[in-house]
């Protein structure tokens, strides 16, 4: 009967120790997790221009720029410039 009591006490001590260790480990991993970035990622901006002939909007990089304006295509540039 005495051994049973000692065995039960040992099991209880081990169980408590394991639980404390597990919670400490969980706390540690929670602290180690990287924080999410506070500011949103900035996307590169694209300037949008409107065709002087048909008013379609397109990125400036894809537009045809001439002395008299900005156009969506070579055909519209020719039509606008005569």
Residues within the interface to Zn ion (CB under 5 A):
51, 53-54, 72, 76
Distance in Å, CB of 45 to Zn ion, minimum: 23
Task: Tell me the closest approach of the beta carbon of residue 82 to Zn ion, in angstroms.
Answer: 15
User: Alpha-carbon torsion 6, 11, 13, 14, what sign?
Assistant: positive
With residues binned 3-state (H G I as helix, E B as strand, rest as coil), the percentages for the chain, rounded to 5, are: 50, 15, 35
Mapped onto helix, strand or coil, the DSSP state of residue 34 is coil
Q: Which residue has the tokens 């065709």?
A: 51
Q: For residues 21 and 57, which CB has a smaller minimum distance to Zn ion in the complex?
A: 57
Cβ distance to Zn ion smaller for residue 23 or 79: 79
Closer by beta carbon to Zn ion, 10 or else 79: 79
Q: How far is the CB of 55 from Zn ion (least distance, A)?
A: 7
């Amino acid at each position: 009967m005495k051994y049973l009591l000692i065995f039960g006490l040992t099991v209880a001590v081990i169980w408590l120790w394991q639980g404390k260790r597990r919670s400490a480990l969980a706390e540690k991993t929670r602290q180690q997790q990287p924080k999410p970035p506070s500011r949103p990622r900035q996307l590169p901006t694209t300037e949008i221009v409107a065709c002087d002939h048909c008013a379609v909007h397109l990125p400036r990089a894809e537009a045809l720029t001439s002395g008299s304006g900005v156009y969506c295509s070579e055909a519209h540039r020719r039509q606008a410039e005569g």
